[in-house]
A and B are shown apart, each in its own frame.
Chain A
Amino acid sequence: MKQGNKNYIRKNAPVKPVRHDVRQTKTAGGNFIDKLHAYRDLHAHALFSSLGRLVASPFTSIMTIAVLAIAISLASGFYILVVNLQQLTGSLETSNQISLFLRDDVSDSHANKLADSIRQNPDVQSVKLITREQGLAEFQTYSGFGAAINALENNPLPIVIQVLPKNSLEDKQGLESLLKNFQQSPEVDLAQVDLQWIERLQSILEVARLFAILLNLMLGLAVLFVIGNTVRLELHTRRDEVAIAKLVGATNSFILRPFLYSGFWIGFISGVSAWFIVNVLMLILRQPVEKLSGLYDGSFHLLFLSFTDTLALIFVSSVLGVISSWFVVIYQLRQLKPE
């Protein structure tokens, strides 16, 4: 063991003593406020530098975000479709209306008398008579077969009495006995509750709703994988930086931070783009839908994504971005050995 000969150092002595902190720990470096500011600066820097990196490679970013935006808009588009269909059946639900189709040989005056007698029924709220002529006129305006019907020699439509039962008659049994009652009167050819097809439609909608949930889950997974892969590629291009940062004492959370922000930005921008796509599609659909609605009772209006829906859409896509980059980076850091 050799000691000494530090002459060359002594000759050039003016070096300030280093105050080196042997017990340097996690809390090293400045006072508390300083550290707080430094921490805030780190986050702000990560937030903007990760956005800057997205902008720096616009082609890749746009491709990724386009794929994600389409996937997310598909999911939310299907969701809004189901919401609209539910609104439609929701408005129909209140009319558990019964239609009585009368025999051909029943005259108008007879039908009027029948309608009056039904009106006396305590279980009935209102009654509306549609004569053959009224029925034909309605059919001509709405069906688009006007000319063809003019060519018919006689009116093929029956007289219809629309009966709206009292609201108290919500249970099925009461409705059923009322229906049986009508069915037995000799003038009635066919008595039909409109509710039946609504029930069928509703169960179809229930299936559609379930399908929408499954579709959203699948597309959510797709979003996870796409963002995960993007962040993995970014990690790969920056692996030298990560390795060096680890060598000079970076914790996993320090390394993770900019990637979480990248994931956030990708998710956030895709969510906002998806919102735009859905709204543009809905604006295109609005006119024809309103026209269609006008042909019926006009009570249906196209529902757009609500404010809460919009927030949820953007929140979920941002969170998916953060989650997937978290998983990818943590997994990759396990693989990565510093050198």
Chain B
Amino acid sequence: MLKFDNVTKRYPETGDVLRNISFHLRHAEMAFLAGHSGAGKSTLLKLIATMERCSRGQILLDGQDLSHAKEKQLPFIRRKMGIIYQDYKLLQDRTVFDNVALPLVIAGYGHHEITRRVRAALDKVSLSGKEKKYPFALSGGEQQRVGIARAVVNKPPIIIADEPTGNLDPELSAEIMFLFGQFQQVGVTVLIASHDISLITQLNHRVLKLDHGQLISS
């Protein structure tokens, strides 16, 4: 599903942030990306999200070469993945419904289909009834779940999340991890960056461990 082949990312200012990363995430597999602060976790996820391009090597998503994709193809590649951000990246002046509907509107779904899918996604993250609320009127955990609903509403085959539990209490974190488990259960590939060691060990999934830009265990 997702294959890194000798991937190196170099920033002109900071040098090699990721060095010779190789791993293979199979279909419907769930894995954690662990490592100290500054290890390169966010950078690796940005490469997958095509927000950055790798300097060397090759990234294959579902057989498609992300590292050499044309600018024009990027929107369509991004529609194939659900991305969850630590800072949620929600539109503050739009309702919960509109936020979650955005990927569907962009993909050109019809009105009824959008309503149906948004309801289903919000239901999945236990936010039914909050469609008309604005993000600022929600708690951090609720906003995070809106972000998750937006990421999965398009039924993407892969979900990547950057510190999805970064500022949530343990109970909420467990709840959200449970949700990711459910997605994996129905065939979605999941990759989660986190430095929450206790949570990771507790869940006992595959762990990709980064240290100063190198993959030290997978």
Contact A248 B113 (CB under 8 A): no
Interface residues of B in 141-160 (CB under 8 A from A): 150, 154-157
Partner of B181, one of A8, A29, A41, A248: A8
Q: Is B186's CB under 8 angstroms from A30's CB?
A: no
Interface residues on B, range: 35 or more
B78 partner, pick from A35, A42, A248, A254, beta carbons under 8 A: A248
Q: Do B51 and A30 touch across chains, with their CB atoms under 8 A apart?
A: no
**Segment at the A interface, from B2-10, B11-19, B97-105, B125-133:** B97-105
With A1-B218, A5-B203, A249-B79 in contact, do A18 and B187 touch (Cβ < 8 Å)?
yes
Tell me the minimal C-beta distance from A22 to chain B in angstroms: 5
Residues of A within 8 A of B184 (CB): 6, 9
Instruction: Fill in one digit per residue for A55-76: 1 if any B CB lies within 8 Å of its CB, else 0.
Output: 0000000000000000000000
The answer to whether A35 touches B110, judged by C-beta atoms less than 8 angstroms apart, is yes
**CB-contact partner of B206 in A1, A17, A247, under 8 A:** A1
Q: Which of A6, A8, A26, A244 contacts B91 (CB 8 A)?
A: A244
Q: Which residues of A contact B187 (CB under 8 A)?
A: 17-18, 20
B108 and A42 contact, CB distance less than 8 A:
yes
CA distance A1 to B218 in the complex (A): 6
Is B106 positioned at the interface, with any CB of A under 8 Å from its CB?
A: yes
Q: Is B182 an interface residue (CB 8 A)?
A: yes
Contact partner of B108 (CB less than 8 A), chosen from A9, A29, A246, A247, is A29
A39 within 8 A of B: yes
Q: Which residues of A contact B111 (CB under 8 A)?
A: 37-38, 41
Q: Is the interface of A mostly helix, strand, loop or mixed?
A: loop
Instruction: Report yes or no: B106 in contact with A248, Cβ–Cβ below 8 A.
Output: yes
CA A172 to CA B131, docked complex, whole Å: 84
Contacts of A34 in B (CB 8 A): 109-110, 112-113
Contact B79 A24 (CB under 8 A): yes
Residues of A within 8 A of B (CB-CB), count = 46
Residues of A within 8 A of B155 (CB): 18-21
Encode contact with A along B59-80: 1 for CB under 8 Å, 0 otherwise. Answer: 0001000000000000111111
Whether the pair B104, A20 counts as a contact (CB closer than 8 A) is no
A15 interface contact, C-beta 8 A = yes
Q: Is A234 among interface residues, defined by CB-CB distance under 8 A? A: no
B204 proximity list for chain A (CB < 8 A): 2, 4-5
CA distance A106 to B181 in the complex (A): 119
- Report A-chain residues with C-beta under 8 Å of the C-beta of B108: 28-29, 35, 38-39, 42
**Contact A29–B157 (Cβ < 8 Å):** no
Please tell me if B207 contacts chain A, counting CB pairs below 8 Å.
Answer: yes
In the complex, chain B residues 80-105 whose Cβ is within 8 Å of any chain A Cβ: 80, 83, 89-91, 102-105
Are B156 and A20 in touch, CB under 8 angstroms? Answer: yes
Q: Hey, which chain B residues are within 8 Å of A28, CB to CB? A: 79, 107-108
> B185 on the interface (CB 8 Å rule)?
yes
A15 to B188, CA, bound (A): 13
B93 to chain A, nearest CB (A): 8
User: Are A245's CB and B182's CB within 8 A?
Assistant: no
Return the contact of B76 from the options A25, A39, A41, A338 (Cβ within 8 A): A25
- Is A113 located at the chain interface by the 8 A CB criterion? no
Q: Does A339 contact B (CB under 8 A)?
A: yes
Residues of A within 8 A of B186 (CB): 15-18
CB neighbours of A13 from chain B (8 A) = 185
Complex Cα spacing A30 to B160, Å: 26
Knowing A241-B91, A338-B51, the reply to whether A2 touches B110 (Cβ < 8 A) is no
- A218 close to chain B: CB less than 8 A: no
Indicate whether B21 reaches chain A with its CB closer than 8 angstroms.
no
Q: Which residues of B contact A217 (CB under 8 A)?
A: none
Take A5-B204, A15-B182, A26-B76 as given contacts and tell me if A254 and B91 are in contact as well, using a CB distance cutoff of 8 Å.
no
Whether B36 is near chain A, meaning CB under 8 Å from some CB there, is no
Give CA–CA (A26, B72) in the complex, Å.
12
Interface centre among A16, A21, A248 (most CB of B within 10 A): A248
Known: A4-B204, A249-B107. 17 other contacts (CB 8 A): A9-B181, A15-B186, A18-B155, A18-B187, A20-B157, A24-B79, A28-B108, A37-B110, A38-B108, A42-B105, A42-B108, A247-B51, A247-B83, A248-B106, A249-B79, A254-B75, A339-B51
What are 14 inter-chain pairs, A to B, with CB distance below 8 A?
A15-B185, A21-B157, A22-B80, A24-B156, A29-B110, A29-B113, A34-B109, A42-B105, A240-B91, A247-B49, A248-B103, A248-B106, A250-B75, A254-B75
